[in-house]
Amino acid sequence: MQLTVTGKQIEIGDALRAHVETSLNSILDKYFKTAIEAHVVVAKEAHLIRAEISLHIGRGIIVNGGAAVGEVYAAFDTAAERVAKQLRRYKRRLRDHHAKIHEPTEVEERARDYVLAPVAEESGEDDAAGAPTVIAEISTELPRLTVGEAAMRMDLADASVLLFRNRAHGELNLVYRRADGNIGWIDPELDPARRAHQRQS
């Protein structure tokens, strides 16, 4: 596993780097065995220390965990426990996914991922057509998944939303985390009005 440990306004010493490596290897040995790479960022935030962990454990599968507490080691250990909890929750499904890695894969579909600047009500930041200002743009994979796999990937990545192509029928779908903690699913294919319109076309 390729490991990167970065400090922001914090010195990352050999002892902390060794602690991070030992802890992550222990978690992976227990739940998943392998990982491609891991990024750990430890940053000072006012009176707290924030630790963010991102594990790339397989094709398209990222596990993220973070925590902010008053001490460096405690921040990392709390974030690492969150990552371990995610891996524990999805252990069987991740092993099934890992076993399928050597099977022939479908052609990867790509999409553009844009980061937009926040728009103040009276700022003139929009262009003439009313579109907000793009501040970053990257290419991202648009995975072909079942709804269950999409919900798992969103949860593992600690993301609020995931766009994917539904393996059952090939349409674009979206899963998202609702304010009540449940997961929402948007599937245009299941809309009877849309299906009726498509049959008439």
Distance (Å, whole) CA 3 – CA 36? 9
108-126 burial: b if 16+ Cβ within 10 Å, else e: eeeeeeeeeeeeeeeeeee
pLDDT at residue 102 in the model? 46
Confidence at residue 139, expressed as pLDDT on a 0 to 100 scale: 80
Lookup: tokens for 153: 């990937």
CB-based contact 150:163 (threshold 8 Å): no
- pLDDT of amino acid 128: 55
> Backbone phi, then psi, for 114, in 5-degree steps?
-110, 145
Structural domain boundaries in the chain = 2-99, 110-200
Residues in the chain: 201
How would you write 136-194 as a 3-class SS string?
A: EEEEEECCEECHHHHHHHHHHCCCCEEEEEECCCCCEEEEEECCCCCEEEECHHHCHHH
How confident is the model at residue 51, as a pLDDT? 96
Q: Which pLDDT score is estimated for 126?
A: 52
Confidence at residue 173, expressed as pLDDT on a 0 to 100 scale = 94
Six token digits for residue 114: 């844009």
State the CATH architecture for 110-200.
2-Layer Sandwich (3.30)
pLDDT of residue 103: 47
Predicted local distance difference test score (pLDDT) of residue 1: 82
CA distances for 184 relative to 124, 163, 166, angstroms: 34, 12, 15
Give me the tens of pLDDT residue by residue for the chain, a chain 201 residues long. Answer: 899 999 998 899 999 999 999 999 999 888 877 788 999 999 998 899 999 999 998 777 889 999 999 999 999 999 999 999 988 888 877 766 555 544 445 557 888 888 888 866 555 555 556 677 888 888 888 889 999 999 999 999 888 999 999 988 888 999 999 999 899 999 987 666 655 555 555
pLDDT of amino acid 120: 64
For 2-99, CATH gives 3.30.160.100
